[in-house]
Amino acid sequence: MNNMEDVDMIRIPMNELIFGSDKFVYLAREDLLHYCGMVEIGYMCILAYITFHWMLHVIDLRENCVYVLDSLRSKVNEDIHGIINVGLKTWQAKHDLQRYRSTPKWRPVKCPRQLDSVGCGYYVQKYIHEIVHNSSTSITNLFNTKNAYRQKEIDEIRTEWATFVFIIGLPWMAGCVV
């Protein structure tokens, strides 16, 4: 096993049940260091892939609140609650935030609901897109108007994602490391 000081990328195997065939995901050392260093970005978004379903957890550190955006409105996953609660308590202790040491408030957000059984990843991407582009609007108010996204809106996210992957992937396909 390599030490993180020795590598720029971490290769993570993904089971065929996730993407349909065995694949590897690569995590940049720099990205991991930023994540572990808790670089402040306003809202911290944690993507949680649980039992073949993507949902978005947005942590508001100022309010000690976790907003849950779930396009299927599934039942609460206690494992994820536990992981995030422990992570927040650790962060709060590290930053000596006495007033926030209580368990965070968990708020499910009424967000657009997917109409199929496979679109959750695109819904999470669309949620993130809307949060980033409407940062002055509260999360609970941001999604309160729609029942579902139109196919055109999901297709726009697919196109944006495919373009990003294509542009980022070109140097790697040429044998270069970015």
Kindly report, residue by residue over 132-154, the tens digit of the pLDDT.
888 877 888 887 766 889 999 99
Residue 147: its pLDDT value, please? 83
- Check residues 162 and 7 and name the one with the higher pLDDT: 162
**Residue 178: inside a domain, yes or no?**
no
Residue written as token pair 């980022």: 168
- Considering the domain architecture, whether residues 72 and 153 belong to the same structural domain is answered as yes
- Check residues 127 and 168 and name the one with the higher pLDDT: 127
- Considering the domain architecture, whether residues 143 and 169 belong to the same structural domain is answered as yes
Q: Which structural domain, as residue segments, surrounds residue 106?
A: 40-173
Q: Which two tokens stand for residue 144?
A: 């309160």
Residue 115: its pLDDT value, please? 87
What percent of the chain lies above the pLDDT cut of 90? 14
- Whether residue 2 is predicted with pLDDT greater than 60 in this model: the reply is no
Residue-averaged pLDDT of the chain: 75
- Considering the domain architecture, whether residues 21 and 55 belong to the same structural domain is answered as no
Residue 127: its pLDDT value, please? 92
- Considering the domain architecture, whether residues 117 and 55 belong to the same structural domain is answered as yes
- Whether residue 86 is predicted with pLDDT greater than 90 in this model: the reply is no
CA atoms of 159 and 68, how far apart (whole Å): 25
Residue 91: its pLDDT value, please? 80
Number of CB atoms found within 10 A of residue 160's CB: 13
Number of CB atoms found within 10 A of residue 24's CB: 10
CA atoms of 24 and 56, how far apart (whole Å): 22
The number of folded domains in the chain is 2
Count Cα neighbours of 139 within 13 Å in the Cβ-side half-sphere. 25
